[in-house]
Amino acid sequence: MNQNLPNLLRELRLSGAKETLEIRLQEARAANLTHDEFLEILLQDERSIRKQRRMQRMLKKADFKEMKTIDEFDFSFNKNIPREDIYNFAAGEFIRQAKDLLMIGPPGTGKSHLAQAIGYSAIKLNFSVYYRSIFDLVRDYSRQEIGVEPEKILNRYLVTDLLIIDDMGIKQLGPKASEYLFEVILRRHQNRSTIMTSNRPLEEWGKLLNDVPAATAILDRFMQTATIISFKGKSYRLKDRAVMQPQKVET
């Protein structure tokens, strides 16, 4: 192999093509490929590797709690969950239109799984995604107040194409939680898409946030462009518990 080729590819920052160059040269000789056929294959390698690396970077930035896909979800367990609607959201049109989604229902019914799965699908469509629980959001904003990279922290919430705020309603939040959440929702409203999941009905958000007027203002904006999907039924998370539990042995 001409040793100038790897150096040229490195200089041109075509590291994907550089990785496969040697094996592609061997294949080209064995199959008697033309110059343009060989070049096309080599450039396809570069494109494929760039896509893989980009996907890895975006998944890292998304900071999902768990890596979930829609195909892994068992829709037959809770048949009232609208499968077609979930797949429609995974197609990403609501992100293009800067609309929102609220998943609401009891714990364990699959809200977090499907929210992150829609986020994963969005990344595959070249949208940026950022996942945070409501507790992460409050913690991040608290760090901002003591001067820890305030612009960088806020920017992550505002510029991402899809923000996922998970676990609303697990427990009552701190005194400034309403202010933090209101700023995020207000500044993303009709500009970027947000998915929220909640274990509690909307009428309880004022109590959860310790601020009824703020909760009303948050919901007033968020619900203007949001679709609500209600989750009902048994806990998806515990569906195999009976199988996993050891049987008692009588003596």
Average pLDDT over residues 111-138: 95
For residue range 1-13, list pLDDT tens digits in order. Answer: 677 888 888 888 8
pLDDT of residue 247: 43
The whole-model pTM stands at 0.81
> Distance between terminal CA atoms of the chain?
75
- Residue pair 70/90 in contact by the 8 Å Cβ criterion: yes
What does the alpha-carbon distance between residue 198 and residue 40 come to, in Å, rounded to a whole number? 49
- Residue pair 106/199 in contact by the 8 Å Cβ criterion: yes
Half-sphere exposure of 3 (CA within 13 A, CB side): 0
pLDDT of residue 114: 96
pLDDT of residue 251: 33
pLDDT of residue 239: 56
* Per-residue tokens: 146: 């003591």
Lowest mean pLDDT among 104-113, 146-155, 231-240: 231-240
CA angle 51, 116, 91 (to 5 degrees): 65
Q: Which among 129, 192, 126, 181 is positioned nearest to 158, based on CA atoms? A: 192
- The count of other CB atoms within 10 Å of the CB of residue 31 is 11
Average pLDDT over residues 102-117: 93
Average pLDDT over residues 73-93: 91
Reported as a pLDDT band with limits 50, 70 and 90, residue 237 is low
Average pLDDT over residues 30-39: 90
What does the alpha-carbon distance between residue 163 and residue 61 come to, in Å, rounded to a whole number? 12
pLDDT of residue 146: 62
The domains of the chain, with CATH numbers, are 4-57 (no CATH), 70-230 (3.40.50.300)
CA angle 15, 17, 21 (to 5 degrees): 120
Average pLDDT over residues 66-89: 90
Average pLDDT over residues 192-217: 90
Residues 6+ positions from 236 with CB-CB distance below 8 Å = 73, 74, 77, 78, 108, 109, 110, 113
What does the alpha-carbon distance between residue 95 and residue 202 come to, in Å, rounded to a whole number? 23
- Residue pair 192/162 in contact by the 8 Å Cβ criterion: yes
Mean pLDDT value across the chain: 86
pLDDT of residue 91: 97
pLDDT of residue 94: 97
Among 5-9, 66-70, 85-89, which range has the highest average pLDDT? 85-89
pLDDT of residue 118: 97
Backbone dihedral region for residue 101 (phi beyond 0: left; psi -120 to 50: alpha; all else: beta)? beta
Residues 6+ positions from 91 with CB-CB distance below 8 Å = 121, 125
Reported as a pLDDT band with limits 50, 70 and 90, residue 193 is very high
What does the alpha-carbon distance between residue 191 and residue 96 come to, in Å, rounded to a whole number? 10
Average pLDDT over residues 89-110: 94
* Per-residue tokens: 8: 């040229």
Q: Which among 234, 229, 235, 233 is positioned nearest to 104, based on CA atoms? A: 229
Reported as a pLDDT band with limits 50, 70 and 90, residue 127 is very high
Average pLDDT over residues 152-164: 91
CA angle 94, 96, 102 (to 5 degrees): 25
pLDDT of residue 244: 41
